[in-house]
């Protein structure tokens, strides 16, 4: 690719919202450029990095969090549902964000001392390691940057009768600290069969993708006032159609939008597995259709009930091409409906119109496609102030963790300081917790010493301490909360 073409793409990255492109349901030929990103690490703070994607375009990254510490993975198979609780901190140990440029990235250390980078560099472009893994003269790994093609179509709000708020006696779901405030959406995510099969049984890859997908959705929710962050409590995969009882299909296999929403809400209402969630979102890899007199229309991307978070009609459905992040904006739109925002129009919340192209427009487009209108912000702010949204205000508490004593007591097992460093820096041959640098814990940073595989030399790195980590040798009551010793 010519230097001019490369420059053009990176100019589009810097004015990302203005370069949004929509496509139809047919496959599009992806155009990409090859880059050799470089990561600069702070010697004092391993939780912050600078990612130089390309000359003239860099990201200032900080550690991010969106997963419940005790994350439930569910797999709907032909023999029934298999459930497994996993450590959410493990899956987000390489998760970083740039909230200004709206980046959601996984930076996985490699044996060569650099990183494999996957995710979204902003709302319009994604990055992934190049297939053939070639390297530059500086031995940095090749990556490709690809524009995210948002599928063309409309998002709908299914106007259903509002139900009573869920029972207040339901047990709380323990979060890792994904919420920096006292409320947010605890989300149960579902991949339908077509969405699941893309990952070919690789549950780790599937979980990482969902983490990045919903983190990018959550960055969009940060625009709200107050912000409404998302925390993932359950990820549900569908490995077989035998027990996929939450979809309604056309005779050619297309997914019928409103009928699927109805049966999904019925399942959510009846089955205990969904009761604790504030909202349920299903991503479908099928083409979504709506029935019309005399046939069907495929000009639909998603559907959700209006102001139905916290009720027994709290589900939403949207299209996504797995691996492509094409459905992130659709997910944000449908969750916006669940939080009380109608499609943009003149009315109670102001003089917004769908032609303005904002995120909650029926047809979002142009540089406003990733932004909530003032009408949407007012509607959602009103909803979260109501008693019916009480589930969003559930406060969570983290268990007391302990360093450097026996343990970081994660659910189901205990983890020493050494074990935590080895887990977090698993890309290095050796990693140790530096007990003598306990002072770092007062800043809620965990000091680790790692061995560089290529040079064999030691490197000093730190990572943010999980919420609940003891951070004061003299006062055992003080623990880390949102990276502050309190």
pLDDT on residue 137 = 59
3-state secondary structure the chain: CCHHHHHHHHHHHHCHHHHCCEECCCCCCCCEEEECCEEEECCCCCCEEEEEEECCEEEEEEECCCEEEEEEEEEEECCEEEEEEEEHHHHCCCEEEECCCCEEEEEEECCCCCEEEEEECCCCEEEEECCCCCECCCCCECEEEEECCEECCEEEEECCCCCCCCCCCCCCCCCCCCCCCCCCEEEEEEECHHHHHCCCCCHHHHHHHHHHHHHHHHHHHCCCCCCCCEEEEEEEEECCCCCCCCCCECCCCCEEHHHHHHHHHHHHHHCHHHCCCCEEEEEECCCEEEEECCEEECCEEEEEECCCCCCCCCEEEEECCCCCCCCHHHHHHHHHHHCCCCCCCEECCEECCHHHCCCCCCCCCHHHCCCCCHHHHHHHHHHHCCHHHHHHHCCCCCCCECCCCCCEEECCEEECHHHHHHHHCCCCCCEEECHHHHHHHHHCEEEEEEECCCCCCEEEEEEECCCCEECCCCCCCCEEECCEEC
- As a whole number of angstroms, the distance between CA 107 and CA 94 comes to 5
- As a whole number of angstroms, the distance between CA 304 and CA 311 comes to 12
Check residues 195 and 298 and name the one with the higher pLDDT. 195
Region 180-207 average pLDDT:
91
- As a whole number of angstroms, the distance between CA 82 and CA 238 comes to 10
Q: Which of 4-13, 37-46, 104-113, 405-414 has the highest mean pLDDT?
A: 104-113
Q: Percent of the chain beyond pLDDT 70?
A: 79
pLDDT on residue 114 = 85
Give the burial string for 267-287 (b: 16+ CB within 10 Å, else e).
Answer: bbeeeebbebbbbbbbbbbbb
Region 352-374 average pLDDT:
89
Give the phi and the psi of residue 368 in degrees, each rounded to 5: -100, 0
- Judge whether residue 20 has pLDDT over 50: no
Q: Which of 21-30, 33-42, 77-86 has the highest mean pLDDT?
A: 77-86
- In this predicted model, what pLDDT tens digit does every residue of 80-93 receive, in sequence order? 999 999 999 999 99
Q: Which residues, listed in sequence order, are joined to residue 190 by a DSSP beta bridge?
A: 236, 282
Q: How confident is the model at residue 135 (pLDDT cuts 50, 70, 90)?
A: low
Check residues 155 and 80 and name the one with the higher pLDDT. 80
pLDDT on residue 415 = 53
Whether 190 and 238 have beta carbons less than 8 Å apart is answered as yes
Q: How confident is the model at residue 292 (pLDDT cuts 50, 70, 90)?
A: confident
Mean pLDDT of the chain: 81
pLDDT on residue 158 = 47
Q: How confident is the model at residue 299 (pLDDT cuts 50, 70, 90)?
A: confident
- Judge whether residue 153 has pLDDT over 60: no
Region 462-477 average pLDDT:
74
Catalytic residue among 334, 362, 387, 451: 334
- Judge whether residue 72 has pLDDT over 70: yes
State the sign of the Cα–Cα–Cα–Cα dihedral 167, 168, 170, 175.
positive
- Judge whether residue 463 has pLDDT over 70: yes
What radius of gyration do the chain's Cα atoms show?
22
Question: Residues for the chain: how many in total?
Answer: 486
Check residues 185 and 1 and name the one with the higher pLDDT. 185
- Give CATH superfamily name and number for 151-393: Collagenase (Catalytic Domain) (3.40.390.10)
Nearest CA-CA partner of 154 in 356, 274, 318: 318
Q: Which of 67-71, 128-132, 189-193 has the highest mean pLDDT?
A: 189-193
Q: Percent of the chain beyond pLDDT 90?
A: 54
Nearest CA-CA partner of 87 in 61, 108, 115, 67: 67
Domain ranges of the chain: 3-63+90-149, 151-393, 408-485
Q: Is 128 assigned a catalytic role?
A: no
Region 65-93 average pLDDT:
94
Region 127-154 average pLDDT:
77
- In this predicted model, what pLDDT tens digit does every residue of 326-356 receive, in sequence order? 999 999 999 999 999 999 988 889 999 888 9
- Judge whether residue 181 has pLDDT over 60: no
List the strands of the sheet with 185-191, edge to edge.
80-87, 67-77, 230-238, 185-191, 279-284, 315-319, 300-305, 154-158
């Amino acid at each position: 690719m010519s230097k001019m073409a490369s420059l053009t793409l990176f100019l589009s990255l810097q004015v990302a919202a203005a370069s949004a492109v929509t496509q139809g349901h047919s496959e599009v030929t992806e155009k990409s450029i090859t880059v050799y990103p470089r990561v600069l690490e702070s010697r004092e703070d391993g939780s912050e990095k600078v990612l130089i994607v390309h000359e003239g375009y860099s990201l200032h990254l900080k550690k991010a969090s969106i997963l419940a510490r005790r994350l439930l993975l569910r797999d709907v198979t032909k023999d029934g549902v298999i459930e497994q609780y996993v450590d959410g901190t493990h899956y987000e140990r390489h998760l970083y964000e740039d909230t200004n440029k709206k980046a959601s990235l996984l930076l996985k250390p490699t044996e060569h001392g650099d990183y494999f980078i996957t995710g979204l560099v902003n709302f319009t472009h994604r990055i992934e390691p190049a297939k053939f893994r070639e390297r530059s003269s500086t031995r940095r790994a090749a990556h490709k940057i690809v524009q995210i093609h948002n599928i063309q179509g409309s998002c709908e709000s299914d106007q259903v009768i509002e139900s009573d708020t869920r029972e207040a006696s339901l047990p709380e779901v323990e979060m890792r600290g994904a919420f920096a405030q006292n409320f947010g959406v605890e989300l149960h995510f579902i991949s339908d069969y077509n969405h699941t099969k893309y990952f070919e049984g690789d549950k780790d890859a599937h979980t990482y993708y969902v983490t990045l997908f919903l983190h990018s959705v959550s960055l969009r929710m940060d625009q709200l006032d107050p912000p409404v962050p998302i925390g993932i409590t359950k990820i549900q995969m569908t490995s077989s159609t035998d027990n996929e009882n939450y979809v309604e299909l056309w005779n050619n296999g297309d997914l019928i939008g409103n009928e699927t929403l109805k049966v999904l809400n019925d399942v959510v209402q009846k089955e205990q597995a969904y009761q604790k969630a504030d909202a349920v979102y299903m991503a479908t890899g099928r083409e979504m259709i709506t029935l019309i007199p005399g046939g069907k229309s495929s000009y639909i991307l998603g559907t959700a009930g209006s102001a139905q978070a916290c009720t027994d009609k709290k589900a939403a459905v949207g299209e996504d091409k797995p691996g492509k992040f094409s459905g992130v904006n659709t997910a944000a739109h449908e969750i916006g409906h669940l939080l009380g925002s109608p499609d943009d129009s003149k009315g109670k919340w102001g003089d917004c119109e769908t032609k303005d192209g904002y995120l909650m427009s029926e047809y979002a487009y142009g540089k406003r496609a990733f932004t909530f209108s003032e009408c949407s912000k007012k509607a959602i702010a009103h909803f979260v102030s109501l008693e019916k949204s009480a589930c969003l205000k559930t406060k969570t508490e983290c268990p007391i963790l302990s360093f450097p004593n026996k343990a970081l007591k994660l659910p189901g097992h205990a983890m020493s300081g050494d074990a935590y460093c080895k887990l977090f820096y698993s890309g290095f041959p050796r990693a140790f917790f530096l007990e003598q640098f306990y002072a770092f814990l007062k800043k809620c940073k965990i000091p680790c010493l790692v061995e560089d595989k290529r040079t064999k030399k030691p490197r000093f790195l730190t990572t943010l301490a999980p919420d609940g980590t003891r951070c004061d040798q003299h006062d055992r009551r003080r623990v880390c909360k949102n990276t502050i010793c309190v």
